[in-house]
Amino acid sequence: MSSSRSTHISQQRVPWNLRDMLLASAASIGLGLLGITFIVGGSLLWETAGLPAPSQSTRLLGVFSLEAILLIPAWAWGPGKYGGGWKALGFRSCNLRQTAILWGKAFLSILAINIGWEWIRRRLGIPGQPDYLPLFGEGLGGLFLALLLGAIIAPIAEETFFRGYLYAGLRSLWGPSKGIILSAAIFAVVHILPGVLFPIFLIGLVLAWLYERTGSLWPSIVLHGTMNALAFLASYFAKQFPT
How much is the pLDDT for 194? 77
Domain-embedded: residue 4: no
Domain-embedded: residue 221: yes
Q: How confident is the model at residue 140 (pLDDT cuts 50, 70, 90)?
A: confident
* Average pLDDT of the segment spanning 140-146: 86
Domain-embedded: residue 9: no
Whether this model's pTM surpasses 0.85: yes
How much is the pLDDT for 141? 83
* Average pLDDT of the segment spanning 108-130: 91
| Cβ within 8 Å of residue 228, ≥6 positions away | 150, 151, 154, 155
Mean pLDDT, rounded, of the chain: 87
pLDDT per residue over 159-213, tens digit each? 999 999 999 999 999 999 999 999 999 999 998 777 889 999 999 999 999 999 9
- How many domains, the chain? 1
* Nearest-10 crossing angle of helices 197-214, 218-240: 140
Domain-embedded: residue 2: no
Domain-embedded: residue 193: yes
Across 39-53, 116-130, 222-236, least confident range: 39-53
Domain-embedded: residue 168: yes
Domain extent for 176? 18-240
Domain-embedded: residue 180: yes
pLDDT surpassing 90 at residue 126 = no
Comparing CA positions, the residue from 93, 39, 91 lying closest to residue 221 is 91
Across 70-84, 127-141, 225-239, least confident range: 127-141
pLDDT surpassing 50 at residue 148 = yes
Domain-embedded: residue 8: no
Across 21-25, 147-151, 158-162, 184-188, least confident range: 147-151
What's the sign of the alpha-carbon dihedral 134, 137, 140, 146? negative
